[in-house]
Amino acid sequence: MWIKSLAIMIIALLCLLVPWGCAPSLRQNEVESRGSLVRFVYVNPKAQSVCVSGSFNHWSDESHCLRRDGSTWSLVLSLPEGRYTYGFVIDGNTWEADPGATLSEGDGFGKTNSVLTVE
C-alpha cells in the first residue's frame, strides 16, 4: 500500500515540476518575439553595393548589406522596440539618408540620418 502512495506522490510532484521547468523557455520565446520586422528599401540601378548602417548595428558599414533585385535593393531585419537612426552606405563610401524615411535629423557632423521608431 505504501508503494502505491509513494507512486502517487511522485506523479503529483512531477506534474507540479514539469510546467515550472518549462516556464523559462516560454519566457525566452516571448522575449525573442518582441519587436518588428523592418524592411529597408533603396532604389539605385547604378550602385554596386548598398549597406544599411545605424545605431542598431553600431554604425557598421558592412554588416547589414541589402540584396539587389533589378534596381531595387532590400533587406529585412528583426529589431526590438526602440528609436534608431540610420543611413545607407553606397558602394562602400557614399552616405545617404533613406529617401523613403519620413523623419530625419542631423548627426552633428554635417550628415543627415534617417530616423526609425519600432513599436
Q: What is the identity of the amino acid at 116?
A: L
**Domain spanning 36-118 has what CATH number?**
2.60.40.10
Question: 3-state class of 14 per DSSP?
Answer: helix
Grid cell at residue 18: 514539469
Tens digits of residue pLDDT in 48-87: 999 999 999 999 999 999 999 999 999 999 999 999 999 9
Check residue 36 and give its pLDDT.
92
Domain ranges of the chain: 1-33, 36-118
Give the E-state strand segments of the chain in sequence order: 36-43, 50-54, 67-69, 72-79, 82-90, 94-96, 103-106, 112-118
Give pLDDT, residue 4.
Answer: 53
What is the distance between the alpha carbons of residues 30 and 2, in angstroms, rounded to a whole number?
43
pLDDT band at 6 (very low <50, low <70, confident <90, very high): very low
